[in-house]
Amino acid sequence: MIEPDFEKAGGLVPAIVQDAATGEVLMLAWMNREAWIMTVETEKATYWSRSRKQLWVKGETSGNVQKVREIRLDCDSDAVILKVEQRGAACHTGYYSCFYRRLSGDRLEVTGERLFDPEDVYGK
């Protein structure tokens, strides 16, 4: 099976997640070999959670699943793009993209709207 160069990358490669239809970047997550294999085989985006130290099928808890439409590797095989169909929103804050803040001089300007209230999805 084709795979990123996990050895060179120290076990984890960054995965850039893009909306397959618009190209909007939704999030950056991390994959180990197991997450890669599960993603390729199931077409459901699966990552390695560095904070929880476990595999993480995106949307398993929240319902905000990502159906994988295309996978790309970079020239060095140490970074990945997943082009996905995002159900709901990608960000745990309720924004569609995790990158909802734009640098504007000495402040961060919020762009986009919240699609859900995190408390409704994850509890308080």
List residues near its own copies by CB under 8 A. 1-2, 14, 16, 18, 22-25, 27-28, 40, 70-76, 79, 81, 91-93, 95, 98-103, 106-108
| Cα dihedral sign, 81-15-7-60 | negative
| Residue 1 C-beta: closest distance to its own copies, Å | 7
Task: Report the residue number, 63 or 102, with the smaller CB distance to its own copies.
Answer: 102
| Residue 72 C-beta: closest distance to its own copies, Å | 4
Task: Report the residue number, 43 or 55, with the smaller CB distance to its own copies.
Answer: 43
Residue 36 three-state SS: helix
| Residue 124 C-beta: closest distance to its own copies, Å | 18
Asked if 28 and 95 count as a contact pair (C-beta separation under 8 A), the reply is: no
Task: Report the residue number, 28 or 42, with the smaller CB distance to its own copies.
Answer: 28
| Cα dihedral sign, 34-35-37-42 | positive
| Residue 111 C-beta: closest distance to its own copies, Å | 8
